[in-house]
Amino acid sequence: MEAEFVIVGAGSAGCAMAYRLAEAGRKVIVIEHGGTDAGPFIQMPAALSYPMNMPRYDWGYKSEPEPHLNNRELVCPRGKVIGGSSSINGMVYVRGHAKDFDHWEESGARGWSYADVLPYYKRMETWHENGHGGDAAWRGKDGPLHVSRGPRENPLFDAFVQAGAQAGYPVTHDYNGEQQEGFGPMEQTVWNGRRWSAANAYLRPAQKTGNVILIRALAQRVVIEEGRAVGVEVKRGRATEVIRASREVVLAASSINSPKLLMLSGIGPATHLAEHGIEVLADRPGVGQNLQDHLELYIQMASRQPITLYKHWNLLSKAVIGAQWLFTKTGMGASNQFESAAFIRSKPGVEYPDIQYHFLPIAVRYDGQAAAEGHGFQAHTGPMRSKSRGEITLRSADPAEAPRIRFNYMSHPDDWEEFRTCIRLTREIFAQDAFKPFVKHEIQPGEALQSDAELDAFIAEHAESAYHPCGTCRMGAADDPNAVVDPQARVIGVEGLRVADSSIFPRITNGNLNAPSIMVGEKVSDLLLGRDPLPRANDEPWLHPNWQVAQR
């Protein structure tokens, strides 16, 4: 089998690239190990806690024991399904802060500043403000990816924003527009009541062109002949075969699997590859390094009033919601329930937000376990730019074996101070007048925990991944020894091979990573087609005028 372009991974970036290449008349083969994304567990937004806990849809990765988190092994879900992680994620849509991308450019990723990427965000979106205001000029009107806002009918969504304002923070009507900083409505990749994954937005329309073939197989390594990538060796059933690319091979297999595939193909840290008996084709010490993620805690409050989603936390109510959604694609099932958000700065002198909030009108965990206390609500919070770095390494040279994932969470002393700040600032928000009618008491961490030592013990036991791994094939200048890809996303030292997914992020962006991952796919598709990039934008993002001296 052969095509002009072979893409490994039908996830957020892979689907976007397939769509743009097919639109340009190019022949593409997409290799995906996972199966179909049909069925209510994936397509119904409110069912989001199911697919990320189902082995059928998830690679099932776990971290090595984390030494700073009581040696816990943290789960690291990655989508093993059509649509990749966009089919199992929380559907939260955050572009990232303008300054994130300016930092990318400063660290060697030329052409990836905010002015460069904003036109791609606009190209990929069709934005629906749903009556909540926003910055239409900053948003896209006719892209494949529908971005909407929940109905925000529960009074707790408004209370969260009001409490933020009472605490002295700005209110923003569109954190994906001019002003990220502040409290306001949260955005979701949901359209007509369905999860609007990269598969629904990009891959299905691309397949209809007849230019895209989707193959279900496990990619084992990139085939490199005379310094050039010419195809991908895959396992389909019991047979091993090579799918050839006449132009380029693109890895879009996630920040876990893209570095793993590079290493299995002989591209990576020479000594590490030699340990596993893999012939070194390109010594790139940065492959698998620079692993980053967001950690978060749930700050939970018991509710005085029975208005939370807990009233639906029973089989009968779930069945009614599910039936309404199946037949009409409306009702509670049609939202991810993350409908209010905030981005704030932790202290004076921090130029742009470094703390994110997802607000949820129920006290519940990602694995679907509700708080024993009944009615409650919670804010997910954590620092955005941890200085800790981890790594992905091979466990063996067997492509079927999961790699070693060491996040090294909380290994930098600043992480602890930042996390304690998150807890204390959140408590202050929940103590505002807007929450007086609703807050009964604090469930978690619990009012008894106040000292630094008590909070640190709580963090060590309860911090969880927000599932935003990235950075393991860092993009940088071609002469940077630790960069893996150059600013055109080409793997340094090999011809005809690119990486395009969250692994190329030089540094993690503010917020959830699905939107920037899709943006990478959009931008790299123009590079693959040899097109000039879209003209740079001149929009000036808002920064707090007193950021040097004030926290809010």
Token digits for 247?
Answer: 């132009």
* Residue 190 φ then ψ, to 5°: -130, 135
How many whole angstroms separate alpha carbon 336 and alpha carbon 90? 7
Q: What is the CA radius of gyration of the chain?
A: 22
- Residue 237 DSSP SS3: coil
Residues 6+ apart with CB under 8 A from 369: none
Token digits for 6?
Answer: 């072979």
- Residue 332 DSSP SS3: helix
* Residue 404 φ then ψ, to 5°: -85, 130
Active site residue 103: no
CB 48 within 8 A of CB 194: no
478 secondary structure, DSSP code: T
- 464, containing H or E segment: strand 464-465
How many whole angstroms separate alpha carbon 522 and alpha carbon 20? 7
Query: CA angle 397-398-399, nearest 5°?
Result: 110
* Residue 27 φ then ψ, to 5°: -90, 130
CB 288 within 8 A of CB 304: no
Residues 6+ apart with CB under 8 A from 430: 163, 299, 301, 379, 439, 442
What secondary structure does DSSP assign to 496-523, as a single string?
A: TEEE-SGGG-SSPPSS-SHHHHHHHHHH
Cis, bond preceding 469 (omega within 30 deg of 0): no
What secondary structure does DSSP assign to 56-67, as a single string?
A: TTB--EEPPPBT
Token digits for 379?
Answer: 């804010």
How many whole angstroms separate alpha carbon 166 and alpha carbon 464? 29
Burial of residue 420, with CB atoms counted within 10 A of its CB: 0-12 exposed, 13-18 middle, 19 or more buried = middle
Catalytic pick among 33, 358, 468, 544 = 468
* Residue 75 φ then ψ, to 5°: -75, 145
List 475's β-bridge partners, or say none: 485
* Residue 16 φ then ψ, to 5°: -65, -40
How many whole angstroms separate alpha carbon 153 and alpha carbon 140? 26
How many whole angstroms separate alpha carbon 286 and alpha carbon 193? 42
Token digits for 392?
Answer: 């992905």
How many whole angstroms separate alpha carbon 17 and alpha carbon 12? 9
How many whole angstroms separate alpha carbon 378 and alpha carbon 227? 52
Which residues are identified as catalytic?
A: 468
